[in-house]
Amino acid sequence: MTAQTTPDTPATQTQKPSVLFVCVHNAGRSQMAAAYLSHLSEGRIEVRSAGSAPGDAVNPAAVAAMAEEGIDISANRPKVLTDAAVQDSDVVITMGCGDACPFFPGKRYEDWKLEDPAGQGVDGVRPIRDEIKTRIQQLITELLPAGTTTS
């Protein structure tokens, strides 16, 4: 039997917490969130992202906005949301996927209300990126034990 955490309890050091970011196209918000979490947690949190109706490519404005932060998401590709991805995650953060997101008891769910960067240039994406970064920093403090977070 493996150790488990409850939705309100941070993972112990013996278990790496896992987070799934979900938006419709997996081309903007969820890609930026996943990249920030991977980068800022320095690999101490398992990160996934997916879309309920994945696009063909990551939004070029999102790629450019993240490059300004020193994070390269240019090789990322949108992925389809699966039940397995949800089941394998401790925290599921949705960003406008609505009823397309499957629900499994025992998971922590959050819905982040964020503007959709689709069709916007990099100037329009920057504020969305910055809001995501703020939320990711807060998420890290919630998921990792005190004294091990990064800024």
User: What's the mean pLDDT when you consider all of the chain?
Assistant: 87
Confirm whether 33 is a catalytic residue: no
119-136 residue pLDDT tens: 999 999 999 999 999 999
What's the pLDDT at 148? 52
- Which pLDDT belongs to residue 104? 78
Band (149; pLDDT cuts 50, 70, 90): very low
Three-state secondary structure along 48-106? EEEECCCCCCCCHHHHHHHHCCCCCCCCCCCCECCHHHHHCCCEEEECCCHHHCCCCCC
pLDDT tens digit string along 21-70?
A: 999 999 999 999 999 999 999 999 999 999 989 999 999 999 999 999 99
CATH T-level topology, domain 25-143: Rossmann fold (3.40.50)
Amino acid at 58: V
For residue 137, give the 3-state DSSP assignment. Answer: helix
**Does 97 have pLDDT greater than 60?**
yes
pLDDT of residue 145: 75
Is 133 a known active-site residue?
no
The predicted pLDDT at position 128 comes to 97
Evaluate if residue 1 carries a pLDDT over 50: no
Catalytic residue among 47, 91, 101, 143: 101
Catalytic residue among 22, 23, 33, 92: 23
Given the residues 45, 58, 93, 97, the one annotated as active site: 97
Active site residue 59: no
